[in-house]
Amino acid sequence: MTAFQLWMLCLFPILLIHLSYQLEDNKISSICSGQPGIPGTPGVHGSLGQPGRDGRDGRDGAPGEKGEKGERGEPGVAGARGIIGDRGDPGEKGERGQQGECAVAPKSAFSAKLSEGSSMPVVAEAVRFDKVLLNDQGDYNAETGRFTCRVPGVYYFTVHATVYRSSLQFDLMKNGHIAASYFQFYGNWPKPVSLSGGSLLHLVPGDTVWVQMGLSEYSGLYSSPKTDSTFTGFLIYSDWKNSAVFADLPGDGTPAT
């Protein structure tokens, strides 16, 4: 440190004491007051202070009046489908309904025999079993010897023939075609013998079935008070669900005419 610096360091306290005395002297009231000095230049704006703390919450105000209802918004997007819930408990049993009408199965059956003393049947023509035993639905015609189908389905036809004085061969015909053939040889026996045969046929409305002789030398069809020759047919089951025949049925369940 230099001498000048040391001298200034010793002088600085003395100056502080002197100035303090002057300040004290200035406090002494004077008889004559001076004029106010010229206002000084405004100081520079200070820096922005730190934000203050939030004030206390105010008291709750009175409820406002209810506003007007707004316009309805557009529908939102449909949400995802929910999980299927558990099955509910069974409901109570309902009251019993009225009894329905009983379905009546379609019917078709006939049986006829050759009358006593009938003439010898003509070959290639239908044998006329002219004595009707059963024909409630009228599907068999005794004048022609032919059965005509009105109820579609499966039928069973059977022929029981008495063979006498000659061999016998006959055919069961369907729509002009041979469905089955039967033969019995006659060996000059003193008493009649029998020939029986049957067949299942599927028929549709309009089909015809009959019996006819195949050969003139085998035409020993016979009938007497003690022995008969018969032709019988009946419906086993029908195809009525697939046919318009049963669109309107009379009360007895038979197809309408």
Q: Residues of the chain with pLDDT > 70: what percent?
A: 77
What DSSP line would sit under the chain, residue for residue? --HHHHHHHHHHHHHHHHHHHHHHHHTS--SSPPPPPPPPPPPPPPPPPPPPPPPPPPPPPPPPPPPPPPPPPPPPPPPPPPPPPPPPPPPPPPPP-PPPPPP-----EEEEEPPTTPPPPPBTSB----EEEE-TT--EETTTTEEE--S-EEEEEEEEEEEEEEEEEEEEEETTEEEEEEEE-----SS-EEEEEEEEEEE-TT-EEEEEES-GGGEEEE-BTTB--EEEEEEEEE-GGG-GGGSS--TTSPPP-
Pair 114, 221: CB distance under 8 Å: yes
Reported confidence tier of residue 4, pLDDT bands at 50, 70, 90 = low
Higher-scoring residue by pLDDT: 204, 220:
204
pTM: predicted TM-score of the whole model, two decimal places: 0.55
Higher-scoring residue by pLDDT: 144, 247:
144
Beta bridge mates, 6: none
Tell me the per-residue pLDDT of 100-121, one tens digit each, with 9 for 90 and over: 665 678 999 999 999 987 666 7
Mean of the pLDDT values across residues 44-72?
Answer: 80
pLDDT above 50 (res 96): yes
